[in-house]
Structure 1
């Protein structure tokens, strides 16, 4: 029996990852929205918290910009820019504090040459190419009957899986750094740190879900490839 890559019995392999991904997206949305309504005691905005943390880490040259995308917050190591979504940039809430601090955590990782981050950044170009070509080569190999192309497609997609696996410690470490600074610096008080942790834990689950999806997809590709040899 031959399987086909877009509609076949191997699709069942993706169901657990799809369910977890849906749950993770729902969780981050609800948690973010909930704590976007809870203002911090000190009232610092995300921008103020980020600037404070960056300066204390000696990262005076890193700019903070607004990116007009909800939950589009990120640190750009190539241009040394911290980009915060409007609500995080201007908000004085638990959510804005946690997310802004998390992105500063990435900037500090970059400064300290945190190994998983260095490795992840170094393979980004290869992964970008691999993610685009993997399916093309895989499908070409399937339909043309070239086992070598199919195998190459799988190998390229394996790079995507490796990237996702490396991303996990990078994200968890950035959150740990963020929470430690928020607490030790007195930026958040009392149980505010625990609430910020809930926001960051929910965000982390989206990366876990993405990793599970990538791993499941890789297993599926291997199963489809093996079915041709039966």
Structure 2
């Protein structure tokens, strides 16, 4: 138990550091203008078209670092700083989100699997914490509710790990395209790569955190099962 608590605290601290570092990097690279002067929206449109994708819309959405690709309605959603920005950060983020659109268009396996899990994950997330709470309250009577809750949580953990190859591959596609098409200079490429690396680390930390929490619940379940034997 104590070990699980310690791991949880460490993950929380690391998560905060990575999140802070990502925002710091984004702010830093947002101040570095692109030599070609293109905006994030223009780069997104260019990458989509050069990959033969004409049915995906590029939209501006509110918030900071709210950028995402929605496979349901085929939209690349860029925050205002990225959509209108003409910086290295805007180029990196816009190209990354279009990387997801390319994955969708080419039927990239991990993305398809991840998308197929979303409906179940949505339902699971609504009930998971309540089932786990109920399971803990009833643990001295029966371990079945807690076992169900742990199984539901395991699905969210699996989802977080499936997200990793999806995110890393989108960044790989983005960086290859901006470099091969001369969208960025060699110096700008290094900045873009650094920004996307820190963005990817947020997903790594989230996955590790989810795994640590899952193991904590598993340890409670196993302890209860041993006591009942």
Identify the match of residue 56 of structure 2 among 62, 69, 80: 62
Partners of 1:12 and 1:136 lie apart in 2 by 24
**Which runs of no fewer than 5 residues in structure 2 stay unpaired?**
none
Deviation at 1:15, TM superposition (A): 1.5
How far the C-alpha of 1:227 sits from its partner, in A, is 3.0
- Contact kept? 2:12, 2:209, Cα under 8 Å: yes
For the aligned residues, what is the CA RMSD? Answer: 1.3
- Any conservation in 2 of the 1:13–1:220 contact (CA below 8 Å)? no
Matching of residue 22 in structure 1 with residue 45 in structure 2: no
Distance 2:111 2:50 in 1: 21
1 CA distance for matches of 2:3 and 2:30?
A: 42
Give the structure-1-normalised TM-score.
0.94
- In structure 2, the partner of 1:88 is 82
Tell me, in whole angstroms, the C-alpha distance in 2 between the residues paired with 1:21 and 1:132.
Answer: 24
Residue 158 of structure 2, aligned match among 158, 162, 175: 162
Residues 4 and 215 of structure 2 are in contact (CA less than 8 Å); yes or no, is this contact kept in structure 1?
no
Aligned length: 224
Query: What SS does the aligned partner of 2:43 have?
Result: helix
CA distance in 2, matches of 1:210, 1:110: 23
Distance 2:33 2:135 in 1: 55
1:97 to 88, 91, 96: 91
Deviations 1:49-88 (A, max 9, x none): 0000111111112111111011000111000111100010
Q: What's the CA shift for 1:12?
A: 2.3
Runs (5+) with no aligned partner, structure 1 = none
